[in-house]
Amino acid sequence: MNSCLKKVLIVDDSLFIRKVFSDMFNETKDFKVVGAAQNGLEAISKIKSLRPDLVTLDIEMPVMNGLDALKIIMRDMPLPVVVVSSQTKEGSEETVKALLYGAVDFVTKNVNDLDMVKSTVLATCRNAVNANLNELQKNFTAQKPVAIPPAAAKTKEKLVAIGTSTGGPKALQEVIPNLPGNLPCPVVIVQHMPPGFTKSLADRLDACSQIKVKEAENNEQLQKSTVYVAPGDFHIRFAREGGIAFIKLSKDPPVGLHRPAVNAMFESAAQVYGANCVAVLLTGMGQDGAAGMAKIKVQNGYTIAESQDTAIVYGMPKAAAEIGVVDKILPLHEIANEITRAVI
């Protein structure tokens, strides 16, 4: 075998999917399938013996499901895992859990459009295979937030805008639960995800946070001490009427191939909030957010980027740092405190 080829283990209870994925990977010049498993227990055994570089992992399987297997994999023999998920509501909830447990990314499985699934799987796996394993393996151990005395809040209305992509759900689970419940401003998040998954992400974050977390709705008024997650396939922007700020969702064309796009959110935040905007870029593939962060910088807003040391994929924060629009580069575990400090 070519030593440069990345070894793949395919885990799925469907013989058909195992065959489709095996042929797909073996037709490439950068991957080689070294084995397949039809349940989580078999996957664990084969990871130990075959030492793959990457695993594609189904969730709903007999004997041992993908989530239970993933916990053991990331604890005992961490490696990049891409989840292949169903498109059901239950599938979205389980996929969000998988991302929080350490999966690098996910692909929705639609057997009615296998060509799209195959191309998406390959692109996702090529991005995932070099992920930062040290960060993926970490368990979530958020410290209990310290509440801010209400009197400490400044009078000028602020906004925290956070953009992230690959590795984002796990990163957000370290940032959002460490924000105080009485944060004196709203927080808005763009996480690259398709429809159906952002609601599950918001619910999971809400369950482990002092601050309220919800999926954003069109035309709702932005409230302090609330985190809004942009819904999948909708851009999120802002408008102000009579001194009150509102959320505006739209299906305008994708920006840089993304909808929601971090750049769209950041650019609108720069227009509506100006110097009162705190912009944050966390782990993610690509460059989305760098151009928008530059516009916030021009307005004298405050900008934060996750450091290479902790980013699962150092793409989006790196793009902003390279063009010189980041005020502070911090490891993930320091970002919640820096956000809190910046808005009080």
Same domain, 231 and 293: yes
Q: What is the CATH number of the domain that holds 41?
A: 3.40.50.2300
User: Is the distance from CB of 10 to CB of 21 less than 8 angstroms?
Assistant: yes
Q: What is the DSSP letter of 143?
A: P
Question: Nearest Cα to 162, choosing from 172, 170, 152, 149?
Answer: 172
Q: Does one domain contain both 328 and 197? A: yes
Tell me what pLDDT residue 89 has: 62
Q: List the catalytic residue out of 12, 13, 58, 288.
A: 288
Same domain as 102, residue 164: no
**Quick one: 268 and 164 in the same domain?**
yes
Is residue 49 part of the annotated active site? The answer reads no
Q: Is residue 288 part of a domain?
A: yes
Report in angstroms the alpha-carbon separations of 324 from 6, 10, 60, 288, 327.
Answer: 35, 41, 45, 15, 8
Rounded distance between C-alpha atoms, residue 201 and residue 92, angstroms:
9
Q: Where are the beta strands (DSSP E) in the chain?
A: 6-11, 31-37, 54-58, 81-85, 105-108, 159-164, 187-191, 212-215, 226-229, 235-241, 244-250, 277-281, 302-306, 328-330
- The residues that bridge with 295 in the sheet, in sequence order, are none
Domain membership of residue 45 (yes or no) is yes
Same domain, yes or no, for 202 and 76? Answer: no
Q: Which of 165, 200, 209, 268 is catalytic?
A: 165
Whether 288 sits among the annotated catalytic residues: the reply is yes
Assess whether 133 and 155 both reside in one domain.
Answer: no
pTM, entire model: 0.83
Q: What is the pLDDT of residue 90?
A: 64
H or E stretch covering 216: none
Dihedral sign computed on CA atoms, order 300, 301, 302, 307: negative
In angstroms, the CA 127 to CA 27 distance is 18
215/280 same-domain check: yes
- The dihedral through the CA atoms of 272, 275, 344, 177 has a sign that is positive
Same domain, 92 and 214: no
> What are the residues facing 213 on neighbouring strands?
227
Give the relative orientation of helices 66-76 and 40-50 as an angle to the nearest 10 degrees.
30
Cα Rg of the chain (Å, integer):
20
Residue 128's identity, in one-letter code, is A
Which of 137, 159, 181 is a domain's end point?
137
**Do residues 252 and 323 share a domain?**
yes
Tell whether 260 is covered by a domain. Answer: yes
How many other CB atoms sit within 10 Å of the CB of residue 159?
A: 23
In a domain, 231, yes or no: yes
143 located within any domain = no
Co-location of 131 and 157 in the same domain = no
Total of domains in the chain = 2
Tens of each residue's pLDDT in the chain, 344 residues: 556 889 999 999 999 999 999 999 999 999 999 999 999 989 999 999 999 999 999 998 888 899 989 998 998 899 999 998 875 566 688 889 999 999 999 998 877 788 888 889 999 999 999 888 887 776 544 444 445 444 333 337 899 999 999 999 999 999 999 999 999 999 999 999 988 899 999 999 999 999 999 999 999 999 999 999 999 999 999 999 888 999 999 999 999 899 999 999 999 999 999 999 999 999 999 999 999 999 999 899 999 999 999 999 999 999 999 999 999 999 999 999 999 999 98
Q: Is residue 113 part of a domain?
A: yes
Single out the catalytic residue among 92, 192, 235, 258. 192
Same domain membership, residue 309 and residue 183: yes
pLDDT of 86: 75
* Residue 111 structural domain: 6-137
Among 108, 137, 166, identify where a domain stops: 137
Residue holding tokens 């490696």?
A: 79
- Answer whether residue 197 is part of any domain: yes
What is the H or E stretch that residue 55 is in? strand 54-58
Q: Give the pLDDT of residue 139.
A: 58
145: DSSP letter: P
**Single residue among 137, 164, 180 that ends a domain in this structure:** 137
Peptide bond into 184 cis (omega under 30): no
The CATH code of the domain that includes 283 is: 3.40.50.180
How far is Cα 165 from Cα 192, in angstroms, rounded to an integer? 5
192 in active site? yes
Tally of CA atoms within 13 A in the half-sphere of 47 that contains its CB? 26
Question: For residue 3, what pLDDT is reported?
Answer: 60
**How far, in Å, CA of 204 to CA of 260, rounded?**
20
Half-sphere exposure at residue 66, Cβ-oriented, CA atoms within 13 angstroms: 30
Please work out, in degrees rounded to the nearest 5, the angle formed at the alpha carbon of residue 207 by the alpha carbons of 198 and 75.
85
Based on the fold, state whether residues 116 and 236 are members of the same structural domain.
no
- Assess if residue 300 is contained within a domain: yes
User: 18: burial class by Cβ within 10 Å (0-12, 13-18, 19+)?
Assistant: buried
**Residue located via tokens 């080689």:** 32
Distance set, CA 86 to CA 59, 108, 192, 329 (Å)? 8, 6, 18, 36
Q: What is the pLDDT of residue 291?
A: 92
Tell me the C-alpha distance between 54 and 81, whole Å.
6
